[in-house]
Amino acid sequence: MKRMSCLRGIRPVVWLLLLCGTPLAARTCLWKIASETNTVYLLGSVHLLREADYPLPDAMERAFEDASRIVFEIHPDSAEHPSAQIRMMRAGMLPEGVTLKSVLHDTVYALLDVKAQEVGFHLDFVQKMKPWMAGVLLTFARMQEAGLSPEHGVDRFFFRKAREAGKILLGLETVGFQIALFDSLASGDPDGFVLHTLKEMDLIDTQIGGLIRAWREGDVESLSALLMDAFDASPEIHDRLIVRRNADWMPHILRCLRRDENCLVVVGAAHLFGEHGLIRMLGEEGYAIEQL
């Protein structure tokens, strides 16, 4: 039977640590949620990792083995389909006669140019791209410089294992939704979106090692602070990228908890923490939660 929590109103990070019953020198970025009929494992993912970050903690491998259904933000098959890449490129192009330089403030464009040069990227090659597409390419280039790759990301790793094992694969949202989300975010405030992207790139330079270490060790307080830092000056982006999507995902996760089969839900670690994080939301639904 579900257990009701009496911890509402406590600061989010403190609430989370108490609920999980773990010390600050914690375990992994993996939580076990027990229902009357099954177990759902909630894994905070890092979408790009280094080859040296493997093997993953044993607890993550055990959760995968115990789950019949593996749920990702989007179904990896649809994300990797050539049609999805074509659709993304089309959505990321500016109208005829409009350039990246013309839609950004001069100061913001100059800052973007500096970052582009740091990764050997010339903005002439992305003049026909919308700010969000140019930002995606620059961020990816910076991550590659740091040795990070989606091929080593947690999502891709477990997708390959799940497909080989014949497990059921599901997605919480569609590729089309994600493309439309980024497009709408950047079109509403292109300068703000680019500044947010530049801050994320700075975090890659200065804090990626600490972030991955905190993720592996399940250091909730450090990880939450690092992940939320990029959103400090971007409350609207945080609301659209994290808060609203978490609310949309909750019914899907609750349905997983009513099944007879165990599930592993793999989502970006930033979706787990804070007042609107999935862990707090599940705790407020009354489920027993344990950090593994």
The answer as to whether 264 is a domain residue is yes
Q: What is the pTM of this model?
A: 0.83
Lowest pLDDT segment from 75-84, 115-124, 249-258: 75-84
pLDDT tens profile 236-245: 888 999 999 9
Q: How far is Cα 130 from Cα 23, in angstroms, rounded to an integer?
A: 45
Count of structural domains, the chain: 1
Radius of gyration of the chain (CA): 19
Could you give the CA distance from residue 269 to residue 227 in angstroms, rounded to a whole number? 8
Phi, psi of 47 (to 5 degrees): -70, -25
- Whether residue 5 lies inside any domain: the answer is no
Q: State the pLDDT confidence band at 79, using cuts at 50, 70 and 90.
A: low
Of 89-93, 188-192, 226-230, which range is least confident?
226-230
In a domain, 126, yes or no: yes
The answer to whether residue 23 sits within a structural domain is yes
The Cα 49–Cα 9 span in angstroms is 35
Question: 112 phi and psi, to 5 degrees?
Answer: -65, -40
3 state SS of 73: strand
Query: Are 70 and 38 a contacting pair, CB within 8 Å?
Result: no
**Which pLDDT band, with edges at 50, 70 and 90, does 4 fall under?**
very low
Q: Please check whether residue 30 is in contact with residue 287, taking contact to mean a CB–CB distance below 8 angstroms.
A: no
Residue 6 lies in a domain: no
pLDDT one-digit tens code per residue, 160-188: 999 999 999 999 999 889 888 888 877 77
Domain assignment of residue 203, yes or no: yes
The tens digit of pLDDT for each residue in 182-195 reads: 888 777 788 988 98
Residue 210 domain-assigned (yes or no) = yes
List Cα–Cα distances, 58 to 61, 65, 225, 232, 284, in angstroms.
5, 11, 25, 34, 28
CB atoms within 10 A of CB 120: 8
Residue 222 resides in a domain: yes
Confidence at 2, pLDDT banded by 50, 70, 90:
very low
Let me know the angle formed at the C-alpha of 197 by 120 and 234, rounded to the nearest 5 degrees.
Answer: 165
Q: Which domain holds residue 113?
A: 12-291
